[in-house]
Structure formats: structure tokens, C-alpha cells
Structure 1
Amino acid sequence: MGFDGGHPHRRRAGAAARRRRARRQGLLAVLGLVLVLTVPLAGGPAGPQAAAQEGAPAADAAAPADLRIQARSALLVDAVTGQELYAQDPDRRVLPASLAKIMTLDLVFHALEQGKIALDQEVTVSEAAWRLSVQAGIGGPSAMFLRVGERVRIEDLIRGVAVASGNDASLVLAEAVAGSEQAFVTMMNRHAAEIGLQASRFSNSHGLPGGEQHVTARDMARLALHVLAAHPEILEYTSQKTFTWKDFAPQPNYNRLLFRDRRVDGLKTGHLAAAGFHVVATAKEGERRLVAVVLGAASDALRVREAQRLLDYGFQQFTNTRVAFGEEGRQMVPVYKGARPRVTVEPAAPPVVTVPKTEAGEVRTRVELRDPLVAPLAQGARVGTLTIEDARGRVLRTVPLVTAEAVPRGGLFRVFWDSVRLLFRDLFA
């Protein structure tokens, strides 16, 4: 049989009409049972508030050909909207080097917030951490130059990691948070999965060679966005240009962008001979913040130059625009079977998108609301989606729509009356 819409469709249409007539004829009998119709229709209230942004938005515009970044991979993301503005092989796996310390700092700040450790708490330097310091003293990897058995404040260790990229300081922090580095690595990988790092694996707290470890530009951008949202105070440390410890000469921050661009305030660099030169940099200009990731550049100077090119491109070519929703960002929506007849609905996050400056006035929105809304509804329950598109209809971002207040279930009469209304609406729709 073909697909030309012939007789089978007419037979189905006739059957549907007969079913509708039978339903109308039985309406009076059905009304007697309405009192039992107290189960919310069409899905009931939504669960906890959804994330403010869903999925991975595509890049907003094709990058100019001359922007090609001289590195193994690169990514530029707007930190406010999460939109990718430039991507070059962003899912290519590379050794993390000291970028692993971003995850270490993330877990340290989680532990601070949970009260497991404190900034002024002193912890003891282990022999394993001291050995990393000794390696640095003979021309090896970077260190804070800690001594075995020495007592050091947590905050000093944080500075030693954020500015001087101290491998010894990273290990001491890991042991302070988890009891051992092995336990800390388990935490790192579990947390990586929890925040959506889909292709990253860590084998130690500092990123030196050993074990299975790899990251991607996309995962490092996602980690940076998480850190900026969860622990913005980290920037107080990653923005410091020098680190002074005891009577040692001040150590300059390895992130040279801090010395050439006043907008830059973190996050971290990394380098291994087998990996090349990495940087995850964030910069703020006005209300906008960008995250630039460059992995596997051939030199420190090249990673600085290429990260600077990404940041300049993002600030010069793009802008953030806020779209309208309802009146002053809110909309009243009818509710059935509730103690109140209406509920206020609002976006779960500011409805802002990043677009090329030439297209700032051309975005459009599409609102989808669950219908009907049936009480009870919790505050923050998801009831719809605000989709923001460009002039060509490409989806730039989707923002959940949630309830601004709770709506408890109404009394017996309200439930009965709205059950009748819903029944008639269903029959005659």
C-alpha cells in the first residue's frame, strides 16, 4: 500500500468522529464520577528546577579563516551563556599537565565550603610532597619548595598552586582533603563525571606523567565554567601576578596573559614536553566574561599569543543580548485545581544569548508551556521552555521556564469545578 492518504485515512477519520459523538452522549453519566478526578492531568507538577542551560549550544558564527589557532586544539566560550564562539578540534584528548590543578582547586574549595578544611588550618607536608619539591630544586617541575614535616596553612598552599603551580602544594592539599592522593584521585574522577567532563581522566592531583590521564578543550572549558559559577573566589588567587613564600624570590604567575591584558584574571596554565603548552584563561569586560582554552601550543609565547587572539575575537566580534519574556521577565499562567487560579512563570536563568554584533537585534524567541498546569506545583517546578533562535532559525539557547512560587492544591469545590472544566476542554478540543 502506498502513502498517498487514501481510504484507510478516511476510515480512521470516520471512526474518530463516531468516538467523539459517543463521548458527548455519555457526558452526563460521566459527570457523576467527576468527584474522583483528583489526580493531576497531563503530567502533573515538574520535578526540581532544571539547569539554566541545556545541551551544548553550537557556535554562533563561522570564524574567519585567519583565526586558525596554532595549537592542537582550542575553544572559546562565553561564560554567561555557555555558547561556543570558536572551536578547533575541541574533543581531542591531550595530557592535562598542570591543568589538572584546576580540578584540584575545585575540590579544595568544595571542601572549604563543606567545612572539611579551613583557610587558616595548618597541615603537615608529607615525604611524598617533599620529594616533588626536591625535584623542582634540581631543575624539575614547578614547586612551592616545601620541607618534609613542615606545617603550612591551607591558604598558602592554594596560592602556591594557583600562582606558582606548585606540584608539592597540590599533593599536600589532596592529602588534606581526602587523606591520601589515591582517595583524592577517586574524588577527582567522580566529580569530573558529575559535572559532565565526558572525556577526561585524572591520575594524580598535579598532572605530572603517570597513569591514565587525559583532558579535552571542551572538558576544560566546562570545568572552568563550573569553577567560575561555584567558586568565583578562586579568581582572587589565580589573578595574583606573583607569589612570595618565606625568603624565596617572588615567583611570577605562569599565566603571562595577566601581565599584558587587564581583562584577564585566571585560571591556569600547564606544560609537559609530551603535551605542549596549555592555558585555560578567563577574562571579563563589562558584563561579559569569556573562557579561552588553548591546548598543545609549541611554546609559552605561542599559547599566550593564541589565547589573546581568541579573547580579542570574542570581545570584538560578539555581544550579549537579553530577550524579553512576559512583563518584566515574568508571565502569569492559569492553573487548574489550585488554591490560586494563576501562577507566575519566569526563566530559570537570565535569557541572554551571545550573537555576532551585526545580528544583535535579530534574535527571536519561542515559548512552550505545559498545558494544562495542574496543582500542586512546587516553587521552581519546570513548566516549559524558552527557546532563543537567530534570524535563520538556529537554536542559540534553551532556558527552562519555572514557577516563581508554589501553588498548593485547592479545596474540594475548586478540584471538582476544575475537573469539570478539564473534562469539557478534553471533549470539545
Structure 2
Amino acid sequence: MEAYYYVVFGALAAVVAGLELGKSGKDRVATASVFNSFKNNYVLVYSLMMSGDWLQGPYVYYLYSQYGFDKGDIGRLFIAGFGSSMLFGTIVGSLADKQGRKRACITYCISYILSCITKHSPEYKILMIGRILGGIATSLLFSAFESWLVAEHNKRGFDPQWLSITFSKAIFLGNGLVAIVSGLFANLLAENLGFGPVAPFDAAACFLAIGMAIIMSSWSENYGDPSESKDLMAQFKVAAKAIASDEKIALLGAIQSLFEGSMYTFVFLWTPALSPNEEDIPHGFIFATFMLSSMLGSSIASRLLARKLKVEGYMQIVFSISAVTLVLPVVTNFLVPPSSVKGGSISFGGCLQLLGFCTFEACVGIFWPSIMKMRSQYIPEEARSTIMNFFRIPLNLFVCVVLYNVSRSSLLVQLFSPALILQARATQRFQHSSNTCVNCICR
């Protein structure tokens, strides 16, 4: 492995360690011991759930390519995942509100474990089923767990400000430290120990099973709308009415969809972007570096949230920086002509892009706890999971369109997502809308 990867990883690790060790009193909030126990339980479960997701990340594209599928075939597999999330996500989200968030979290574990098992088959149809199950699981991961946490936090009467602590800690560990270890562990299993690219998926299934056991033994059930007479369609109507009647909720959905759309497009395209001529790159180690960058971002976000800075204000800067980092491949393509030699090590242009991608991942680390904080303030409790999955419909539609055209348009054009620019403007409008709402309940 080239020294460049170690230098980038080591520099990021030093910055993260410095930020965490250098926290002052303004960056910390005093909490009760009973809340700390509750927080630690959730963070443990969330970390196990995310480890099941992160272990798969570095080798999804690579595994499919090893089975002999080209970029177009792989793109259709990804479309199946995002398409199932779009079609079934709102349904499972509404069921989570109605049938219970704990049950929905358990359903996530079962669906994702089954998805991991399908990775053992080189049959395209079996892999397609796995992607569909994975899409359903993803909808639950990014709605049911957060909905359970917010409802349980409020039910136990904890200080609303403490919710930001749980969000920041969960993202710092689950989307940061756990993701880094998962990337390195996946690299160890697949390459160093020679078990092949399917081994990380088996490990993911094991961690998901452990997390499911903790959920079943220690979590209580909570619901959205307590009305027993309200059916699934009525739940949809409540969510749609809330989005249509409150501009802040609609803009929040637009912000989330646009940013996550760019993020998931990046997940699919970072591998071919860094190795356009089949350069030999350490997928697991690069993935761990990205996650360390995300950890850096979540550390910054925890400081911002602890000091009660207005989320709508600083997120405009974050989205603008994200857009600049994703235009970097276009710039480097003009300034540094790509090599025509197949194989070899990462190019100079690839090194520059790697730095830009790390910056983008740092923005992702700031985004997650910040958007969670905004959702906890603005989204009504009775249809929280349903509304959050409504937000994922345009997100998945956007990604499906990009992936459908993955073999028809330039990789650089796909990677530079104008969605981030539109998103910065949506955030600006969101802030303006919030400023005009003097008596808003979330103030």
C-alpha cells in the first residue's frame, strides 16, 4: 500500500483526536446518569446496526464486478435497491408508526441479514432479490431507529437539548469509529486473510443478529399515532397533509433528499472515479479513510450543536463546500490528463480527488446529526416515520435516474451533482421561513 494513504489517514486521525481531546466546557453538556444509560444503550445498538451496513459498503460494487457483471448490470442492481426503498419505504415507515418502531427495527435486522445471505449467489436474480431486501432495510434504518429514539426520549421526560448529544454520539461512533473499523475489518477479511469479497457480508449478518438480540431484550415499544381506527391510507394522508401545510417540513424534505441523493450517487461512483483505468486501490482502507473524515465532521457538529448555533445557518456553508468538492473531478480531469495505462497505482489526479472526497465525507459527518436535530424539531410525532420515508421518495427517484444513465453519460458529470447547489438554496429559504415563524413551537 502506498504511503500516501497512510499520510491522509494519519493526518485525519490527528485532527479528530485533537478536536476530541480539546473540548472545553462550552462543548460539553451536563446530563443525568439515567439518561447516560439510555444513551449508551441506543448508541450501542445503532453502532451494531451501522456496522452491519458499513461492512458491506467497500465491497458491494467490487463483489458484483467479480461475479462478471459490467457497470450497467451493477447499476441496475443498485436501481433495484433504491427503487424498492422508494416503493416500499413509505409503507414500512407508516407501519412502523402504526405497528411499533421496535418491531420495525427488528424487521430491519431480519431483512438485511437475508440480503447478506444472497451475496453468496452469483445468480443475477438472487442478487436482485438481495438488493430489494436491502432497499427495504435501508428505509427502516434511516427512519425507524430515529423515530424510536425521539419518542422514547420524550416519553422518559429527558431534556430536549440532550437529544442532540445522543445524535452526535451515535453519528460519531456509528458513522465514524465503527465505520472505520468496519472498513479495515472488511479489508482484513476480504484481502489480507483471503476469504474473498463475500466475507464482509457474513460478518455484517453476525453483527446485525447481535444487535437484534439487544433490541428484543432491552427496548420497549412505542408508536406514532395511537388511534387504532386509523388505517394505512389515513396515515399517508396525515403525513401528506403535514408536508403540504407546513413549508418548513417540505423544505426540510427537499434538503434531505437533495443531499442524500448526492451522497448515494457518490457511494456508487467513488470507486470508478478513483480507478478509471482499473488502478489497484485498497478499497477497504480508502473506505475507512472516508469514515474517519465523517467522524471529523460529526465531531465538529457536536461542538456546533452544544453551543446552540442555528443549524439552518451553518448548513448553508456545509452544502456549498460539498458542491465544490464534487466538482473537483471535473477540474482535475482538465488540469491533470488521465493516464491511458491500465492498472498501476492511483494517479496524481486520483490523489487530489481523494482529498476532495474526504472533505465531502466530513460534510456528511456534519449533515447527519444536524438534520436529525432539525427533524426532531419540525416533524410531528404521530407520523414521524411515515414523513421521513416520504422524504426518501424523491431521493431514491433521483438516484435511480442517475444510475439508469450511468453507462450513457460522463462519470464526471454524474459525480458533480447540481443537487447540492439547489440544496444550499433550499436551506437558505428554510432559514428565511424559520426566521419569519416567531411563535414556532421548536423555538
TM-score, length-normalised on structure 2?
0.25
Where relative contact order (Cα < 8 A, 6+ residues apart) is larger, the structure is 2
- Greater strand share, 1 or 2? 1
| Greater gyration radius | 1
